[in-house]
A and B are shown apart, each in its own frame.
Chain A
Amino acid sequence: MLSRILGLLSNDISIDLGTANTLIYMRGKGIVLNEPSVVAIRQDRGPGGPRSVEAVGIAAKKMIGRTPENIQAIRPMKDGVIADFTTTEKMLQHFIRKVHHHRMFRPSPRVLVCVPCGATQVERRAIRESAAGAGARRVYLMEEPMAAAIGSGIPVDEARGSMVLDIGGGTSEVAVMSLNGIVYSASVRIGGDTFDDAITAYVRRNYGILIGEATAERIKHEIGSAYPGKELEEIEVKGRNLAEGVPRAFTLNSNEILEALQEPLHGIVSAVRTALEQTPPELGSDVAERGIVLTGGGALLRDLDRLLMEETGIPVVVADDPLTCVARGGGKVLEMIDEHGTDFLSLE
């Protein structure tokens, strides 16, 4: 009863609990939070000492790779699922409170969390309990590609096939939907983080220089591309020379990064090809006619749509504001739950 009353004082939210970023969509307000899924934990008095949260989100991300011994900046999510249960719960608690900052009472909203379709029952339960532990009154789970499709605005309720490729930080999800249901879905553990790792490995292998996570991400954002472009772009970065042990500056160009990204990109293309092979022919022809919709932060990698178009031979469109599609889709579903109940979609 008390939680219901408190619930009236909270706004329902949809959470895209991603490996790289967590986004929160609040009903009636839109995207209210977009922060890295990073928590900095302080542990004083050595191992086994009391642990406390030092920073969460943007502040914690700045600490990655720059922390003293008693602070550890960690990403509690890995490959789209929870790797560290307690820290995820703390992070969610922090984010839920942050978006309800002006409230007198502890917020107790209904929460819809989007999960990768490859998540196991154990992983789903961990996410559900983590959200409940963070103060949610009621937790709905929804598969990410469905949320991404609804968020991008494509009509999933019609008897027509729509294919969505959602490239997140830890996983890429490809799904074919029709009549509010998922006909085929697959999840590969390749995402934005894999691109960063590939760049780090390439630089170490070819230059003998070690670069950090943040530098690899910056390289990807600035000159990363998935298809050979007309112009060659360059970037100057600094890293530690493994042989000499001192920091060195060096220049990378976009063709090198394209080469570095070949392996993860190939993984994504294969997943899409497999999806097209597995799709029933009628739905496949709908997809071939209208195209694949690209969502998620990975869709922002330059010319990824071009690569997929050339590899599959069907149109590929990038959704509007691809980074927030999943969270926005979750928000729309929350509104639909109020109107139509939970029967119309496969919610858990």
Chain B
Amino acid sequence: MATDDRQDNPDTELPEGVNSSPGRLLREAREAAGMSLEALADRLHLHKATLQALEEDRFGDLPEPPYVRGYLRGCAKALEMEPEPLLQAFRASGQPAGPEEEQPPGPVRGRIESPAGLRRFSPGLLRIAIFGAILALVIAGTWSLVTGGGTDEDAPASTGTTGVQDREEAPAVTQEVPGSVAPTDALPGPIPLQASGAGDDGPLAPEGSGTGAAQAPGSEPHESGTDARGDDASGDGVPATTSGREEREGEASPGPVRMRMVFREDCWVQITDADGEDLLSGLIRAGREHRLEGKAPIRVFLGNAPGVELTFNGRRVDTASRARDDRTARFTLGSP
């Protein structure tokens, strides 16, 4: 479904400081050493066609980058030259230069359910938050022990409700947290929140629970808190306060949609469509362009939002204005 416009000709986009492609460097070194293509291929036990592809920078016809780097190193050794210029040129051609730049292999499609909102925090911040939460719990616990049964009598008096409504008080209060935040700047909770809500209600799109939460305070807050998501309400409240916001594009566009992404800077991305399929995921290098097709609504997570130009169904989407302080942005496009 996702089509990838990989630019396979590195000659046209070599960055500064590198004045030749790996293939050209290799060919020059081989010719300088007076070795024929066949002789070098024999020495490395490679097919002649593979070596030819390497010399002509046809990376599409070669195995994965770790192998290519190994071939380049082997060639350098056979030609008694330093491997670094070849590897540097390979790196400059837009291929992964080392183990750190490669993506972990094989994402299992449609199974990404990790709490991305929490992971965006640095471990240090997360730890401070946990410490704070534990401290608050301890203080709250001590307070309730010290004050004893007095609170039970005070609570109905302050809300002024009858004994029957008292039982509904807890979910109603917790429900107000996402409810009161959502309408002010149209920011419903994070993805895990929606996923769990949708899961309980049936096979709905993630937006089902989000819109439900947004409508809740306008109509009847008690109703949504009690019947539909009473059990989840307390659980939902926690990530809503700690994780980031998610924005939605107002335009409704059901069915397949088209996106075009131009990367001006390196950026980590994760684009997921309505079926939960990853259209694009991983670190994309500057200068790349990707065209994606998928089913709306599309969930977008950008690690470096200002560095990406995004067009959605032919309309430009302003990514820079959606970026948070840490340059990340998370939003949904084409939600009904």
Contacts and interface: CB of A to CB of B under 8 A. Distances in A.
Interface in B59-73: 63-67, 69-71, 73
Contact of A153 (B65, B74, B107): B65
Nearest to A291: B67
B314 interface: no
Interface residues of A, number: 41
Given A180-B106, A315-B45, A338-B114, A154 B66 contact: yes
A152 B105 CA distance: 11
Interface stretch (A74-82, A112-120, A182-190, A317-325): A317-325
A153 B96 contact: yes
Given A293-B67, A319-B66, A341-B111, 20 more contacts: A9-B127, A11-B123, A150-B104, A151-B99, A153-B64, A153-B102, A154-B66, A154-B67, A155-B64, A291-B71, A305-B74, A317-B70, A320-B69, A320-B99, A328-B99, A332-B104, A339-B111, A339-B112, A340-B107, A344-B108
A214 interface: no
Nearest to B127: A9
Interface of A: 5, 8-9, 11, 28, 30, 150-158, 180, 289-291, 293, 305, 309, 313-321, 325, 328, 332, 335-336, 338-341, 344
B70 A319 contact: yes
A153 B66 contact: yes
B64 A315 contact: no
Contacts, number: 95
21 contacts: A5-B134, A152-B66, A153-B96, A153-B99, A154-B67, A156-B105, A158-B106, A289-B47, A290-B67, A291-B45, A291-B70, A293-B67, A305-B74, A314-B45, A315-B46, A318-B73, A325-B99, A339-B107, A339-B114, A340-B107, A340-B108
Contacts of A289: 47, 63
A166 to B, nearest CB: 14
A317 B73 contact: yes
Nearest to B98: A320
B126 interface: yes
Contacts of B65: 153
B44 interface: yes
Nearest to B97: A320
B130 interface: yes
A150 B99 CA distance: 10
Contacts of A317: 66-67, 69-71, 73-74
A157 B105 CA distance: 7
Nearest to A338: B114
Contacts of A338: 114
A320 B69 CA distance: 8
A315 B45 CA distance: 5
A8 B130 contact: yes
A336 B112 CA distance: 10
B70 A318 contact: yes
A204 B73 CA distance: 37
A198 to B, nearest CB: 25
A305 B134 CA distance: 55
B106 A344 contact: yes
B130 A150 contact: no
Contacts of B108: 339-340, 344
Contacts of B64: 153-155
A314 B71 CA distance: 12
A313 B45 contact: yes
Interface string B107-122: 1100110100000000
A155 B103 CA distance: 10
A315 B71 contact: yes
